[in-house]
Amino acid sequence: MSTRSADRLRAREEKQEKKPARETVSGMVLRAQSGFFWVQTAVGLIECKLRGRLKRERQSTDIAVIGDDVEITIVGPGEGAIELVLPRRSRLARKAAGTRSAEDVIVANVNQALLVFSCDQPAFSPRMLDRYLVICEHSELDPVIMAAKADLVSAEEARSMMAPYERIGYRVIYVSTHTGQGLDEARDCLAGRISVVTGKSGVGKSSLLNAIVPGLNIATNAVSSLLGKGRHTTTVAELHPLNLEGGGYVADTPGIREIGLWNVPPEDLDWCYRELRPFLGECYYAGCTHIHEPDCAVRAAVTSGLIDPVRYDSYTRLRAGDQ
Structure confidence by residue, pLDDT tens digits, 181-216:
999 999 999 999 999 998 887 788 888 888 998 877
Instruction: Judge whether 8 lies within some domain.
Output: no
Q: Report the distance separating Cα 295 and Cα 286, nearest Å.
A: 11
Residues 80 and 120 grouped into a single domain = no
Q: Cis before residue 77, ω within 30 degrees of 0?
A: no
Per-residue pLDDT band at 258 (split at 50, 70, 90): low
Last residue of some domain: 52, 68, 85?
85
Residues 131 and 215 grouped into a single domain = yes
Mean of pLDDT values over 139-150: 94
H/E element, 41: strand 36-41
Residues 60 and 161 grouped into a single domain = no
The predicted model scores a pTM of 0.81
Bridging pattern class, strands 142-148 and 171-174: parallel
Instruction: Judge whether 4 lies within some domain.
Output: no
Residues 125 and 198 grouped into a single domain = yes
CATH number at residue 61: 2.40.50.140
Residues 230 and 159 grouped into a single domain = yes
Per-residue pLDDT band at 57 (split at 50, 70, 90): low
Q: Report the distance separating Cα 298 and Cα 278, nearest Å.
A: 9
CATH number at residue 99: 3.40.50.300
Query: How confident is the model at residue 198, as a pLDDT?
Result: 87
Query: How confident is the model at residue 250, as a pLDDT?
Result: 92
Residues 103 and 194 grouped into a single domain = yes
Q: Report the distance separating Cα 45 and Cα 21, nearest Å.
A: 20
Residues 199 and 117 grouped into a single domain = yes
Instruction: Judge whether 200 lies within some domain.
Output: yes
* Length of the chain in terms of residues written: 323
Residues 115 and 216 grouped into a single domain = yes
Per-residue pLDDT band at 101 (split at 50, 70, 90): low
Look at residue 132 and give its three-state secondary structure.
helix
Q: Report the distance separating Cα 86 and Cα 29, nearest Å.
A: 11
Residues 190 and 97 grouped into a single domain = yes
Last residue of some domain: 200, 230, 252?
252
Q: Report the distance separating Cα 116 and Cα 199, nearest Å.
A: 5
Instruction: Judge whether 17 lies within some domain.
Output: no
Last residue of some domain: 85, 111, 129?
85
**13, 18, 101, 285 from 7: Cα distances, Å:** 10, 16, 54, 79
Q: How many domains does the chain have?
A: 3
**Is the model more confident about 130 or about 9?**
130
Return mean pLDDT, the chain.
84
CATH number at residue 300: 1.10.40.50
Look at residue 129 and give its three-state secondary structure.
helix
Query: How confident is the model at residue 58, as a pLDDT?
Result: 55
Per-residue pLDDT band at 157 (split at 50, 70, 90): very high
pLDDT tens for 221-247 read 433 332 233 333 445 778 989 988 889
Mean of pLDDT values over 155-180: 96
Per-residue pLDDT band at 27 (split at 50, 70, 90): very high
Residues 187 and 270 grouped into a single domain = no
Phi (first) and psi of residue 284, to 5 degrees? -65, -40
> 272: Cβ–Cβ under 8 A, 6 or more apart, which residues?
133, 134, 137, 138, 264
Instruction: Judge whether 291 lies within some domain.
Output: yes
Query: How confident is the model at residue 222, as a pLDDT?
Result: 38
Range(s) of the domain holding residue 41: 24-85
Q: Residue 322: is its pLDDT beyond 60?
A: yes
**101, 204, 205, 241 from 254: Cα distances, Å:** 22, 11, 9, 18
**111, 191, 288 from 186: Cα distances, Å:** 15, 9, 39
Query: How confident is the model at residue 226, as a pLDDT?
Result: 28
pLDDT tens for 80-96 read 999 999 999 988 887 76
Residues 44 and 144 grouped into a single domain = no
Residues 128 and 169 grouped into a single domain = yes
